[in-house]
A = this chain, B = another copy of it.
Amino acid sequence: MLHINEVKKMSGVSVRTLRYYDKIELLKPASKTQGGHRLYSNTELKKLQQIQFLKTIGFQLSEIKIMLESEEWDWSISLMKQLSYVMSEKDRLSKIEFNLRELINGIAIEGEEFRIKKIMSLYTRDSKDVLTYDREELNIKNSEVLEKLPNMTSSDPDSLEWIALLGQLKKHMHLGYNDTRIQNIIKRMDEKKGEDFNDEDAFLDKLWDIRMSPEESKKHNLYPIDQEVLNFMEKAYIHYIAKKG
């Protein structure tokens, strides 16, 4: 027979938790001393481990209680239920992750305040399902970019580099287009532009050429790049070519 503290040491479950399980009748001690101290046997230890496991796969204590009480429990059904729940949760988190990355990259390019407020106001209506609303918005705005969207998610490293490079350009813009650092960034941009291997580059070239037309830039509003940065990029690029050439 084990005292409550020994059970704690063997299972890692806190004393408070054991008393709580006793109270809600999930796990009662095998017996008690005359003075009322709880005593546990191996049977209870095993059951405790079952509880631990079922908790880690996401069941609530009330559910676990029912499962362990009834001898003939249909495990497969509740496991399937649990699996579908876990999957939907993962899905939800993926959407959140997507939104977060978009926001973070937006900040990297645009700087703090402006972008945040802009994006937040994008989610104004039915905030029930943010992502579907988002998709619709994009659909309406520009179907062209939408086709590229699956490849253009911010977690794609190729696109990410463009975002990073543009962000650095803005960050160090104050150094002037002739600065070494700026010229290096431009150089890397040019080199990356030169990689004309896959189909994505049609889009990337467009991004590069956006600087020519403010109207075009409005069409590709996924990561709005303000005109100032684009103008600066053009200047710095010309300078780079002149030096190089």
Determine the chain B residues whose CB is within 8 A of the CB of A155 once the complex forms.
Answer: 104-105, 107-108
Contact flags (1/0) for A135-177 with B, using CB distance below 8 Å? 0000000000000000000111110110111111011000000
CA of A197 to CA of B87, assembled, Å: 32
Q: How large is the interface on A (under 10, 10 to 19, 20 to 34, 35 or more residues)?
A: 35 or more
Which of A56-109 touch B at CB < 8 Å? 56-58, 75-76, 79-80, 82-83, 86-87, 89-90, 93-94, 96-97, 99-101, 103-105, 107-109
Query: How close is A203's CB to chain B, nearest CB, in angstroms?
Result: 16
Query: Which B-chain residue is minimally distant from A157 (CB atoms)?
Result: B167
Which of A187-232 touch B at CB < 8 Å? 187-188, 191-192, 194-195, 197
Determine the chain B residues whose CB is within 8 A of the CB of A170 once the complex forms.
Answer: 157
Is the CB of A50 closer than 8 A to any CB of chain B?
yes
Q: Which residues of A contact B (CB under 8 A)?
A: 11-12, 46, 49-50, 52-53, 56-58, 75-76, 79-80, 82-83, 86-87, 89-90, 93-94, 96-97, 99-101, 103-105, 107-109, 112, 115-116, 119-124, 126-128, 130-132, 154-158, 160-161, 163-168, 170-171, 181, 184, 187-188, 191-192, 194-195, 197
